[in-house]
A and B are shown apart, each in its own frame.
Chain A
Amino acid sequence: MLRLGRMAVGASGATHYCALRPVRGESGRLVELQTDQLFNNYIPVLLASIVGFILVLSALIGSRLLAPFSQDREKSTTYECGMLPLRRTSTNVGMRFYLYAILFVIFDVEAVFIFPWALSFVGIGPMAYWTMVIFIAILALGLGYAWKKGALQWR
Chain B
Amino acid sequence: MTSELFGADLNPWVDAIVRLLMWVGFMTVVAMGLIYLERKVLARFMARIGPQKTGPMGLLQSVADALKLIGKEDLRPRNADPWTFELGPYLVFIPIFMSFLAIPLVFDWHIRLFELGLLYFVAISSINLVGWVMAGWGSDNRYAMLGALRAVAQGISYELPLVLSLVAVAIFNQTLNLEEMILFQGQTPNILWQPLAFMIFFVAALAEMNRPPFDIPVGESEVVGGPFVEYSGIRWSMFFLGEYTALFIMALLASVVFLGGWAWPLGEELGRWWQVILMTVKTSAFIFLVFWVRASMPRLRIDQLMAFSWKVLLPLTFAQVLVNGLVLAYEWDYWVSRVALGVAGLAGIVLLYAIIDRSVRRPRPRPAPVAQSEAVTA
Contact = CB atoms under 8 A, between A and B. Distances in A.
B207 interface: no
Contacts of B83: none
Indicate the size class of the contact surface on chain B.
Answer: 35 or more
B20 A152 contact: no
Contacts of A132: 322, 325
A17 B160 contact: no
A17 B310 contact: no
Interface string A30-74: 000000110011111101110111011001101110111110010
B336 interface: no
B89 interface: yes
Contact of B310 (A66, A136, A152): A152
B101 A48 contact: yes
B114 interface: yes
Contact of B98 (A45, A63, A93): A45
A138 to B, nearest CB: 12
Contacts, number: 230
A150 B306 CA distance: 12
A59 B90 contact: no
B97 A52 contact: yes
Interface string A96-119: 110011011001100100110011
A55 B97 contact: yes
A63 B233 contact: yes
B377 to A, nearest CB: 31
Given A78-B140, A91-B137, A118-B170, A108 B159 contact: yes
Contacts of B139: 78
A20 interface: yes
Given A121-B329, A122-B331, A154-B306, A44 B101 contact: yes
A4 interface: yes
Contact of A48 (B98, B107, B163, B326): B98
B101 A111 contact: no
A21 B177 contact: yes
Interface of B is mostly: helix
B331 to A, nearest CB: 7
Contacts of B230: 78-79
A152 B113 contact: no
Given A17-B4, A41-B112, A52-B98, A78 B141 contact: yes
B113 A111 contact: no
Contacts of A154: 302-303, 306-307
B364 interface: no
B97 A101 contact: no
Interface string B161-177: 00110010011001111
Contacts of B16: 43-44, 47
A63 B234 contact: yes
Given A66-B71, A78-B77, A88-B140, A122 B329 contact: yes
B12 A17 contact: yes
Contact of A56 (B73, B89, B315): B89
A153 interface: yes
A35 B291 CA distance: 44
Contacts of A78: 77-80, 139-141, 230
Contact of A17 (B3, B140, B157): B3
A11 interface: no
A129 B329 contact: yes
A114 B167 contact: yes
Contacts of B111: 44, 48
Interface of B: 1-5, 12-13, 15-17, 19-21, 24, 69-80, 89-90, 93-94, 97-98, 101, 107-108, 110-115, 119-120, 137, 139-145, 149, 152-153, 156-157, 159-160, 163-164, 167, 170-171, 174-177, 179, 183, 224, 229-230, 233-235, 237-238, 268, 302-303, 306-307, 310-311, 314-315, 318, 321-322, 325-326, 328-331
Interface of A: 3-4, 6-7, 17-22, 36-37, 40-45, 47-49, 51-53, 55-56, 59-60, 62-64, 66-70, 73, 75-81, 85, 88-89, 91, 93-94, 96-97, 100-101, 103-104, 107-108, 111, 114-115, 118-119, 121-122, 125-126, 128-129, 132-133, 136, 140, 143, 147, 152-154
